[in-house]
């Protein structure tokens, strides 16, 4: 399946990704070495993870605040998993 986004939808994903990635990083203890692009990608990936989990639990709504909260939760999950994997690597 090919996902076709309009320019406005693409910009919306970037904005949600930036907000969610920044909030996820803010809530995660410790320092994460990420630039702005990685923060946005973290937030967008977090939106997919959080959206999947929310749909499986049948929670969440369609509003902007709900989207940001779900994406932030997903970003936080990704940061926790990433931190755990980095500790295992050492």
User: What digits encode the pLDDT tens for the residues 35-61?
Assistant: 888 888 888 898 888 888 888 888 877
Please name the residue that has the structure tokens 């803010």. Answer: 26
Contacts of 35 (CB under 8 A, 6+ apart): none
Token pair for 35: 């630039």
Distance CA 16, CA 75 (A): 11
Q: Is the pTM of this model over 0.85?
A: no
Confidence of residue 76 (pLDDT cuts 50, 70, 90): very high
Helices (H) and strands (E) in the chain, counts: 3, 0
- pLDDT at 1 exceeding the cut of 70: no
Distance CA 54, CA 74 (A): 10
């Amino acid at each position: 399946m090919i996902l076709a986004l309009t320019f406005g939808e693409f910009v919306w994903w970037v904005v949600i990704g930036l907000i969610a990635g920044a909030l996820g990083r803010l809530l995660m203890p410790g320092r994460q070495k990420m630039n702005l692009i990685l923060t946005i990608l973290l937030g967008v990936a977090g939106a997919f993870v959080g959206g999947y989990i929310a749909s499986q639990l049948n929670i969440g709504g369609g509003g902007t605040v709900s989207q940001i909260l779900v994406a932030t939760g997903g970003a936080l999950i990704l940061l926790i998993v990433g931190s755990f994997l980095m500790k295992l690597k050492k």
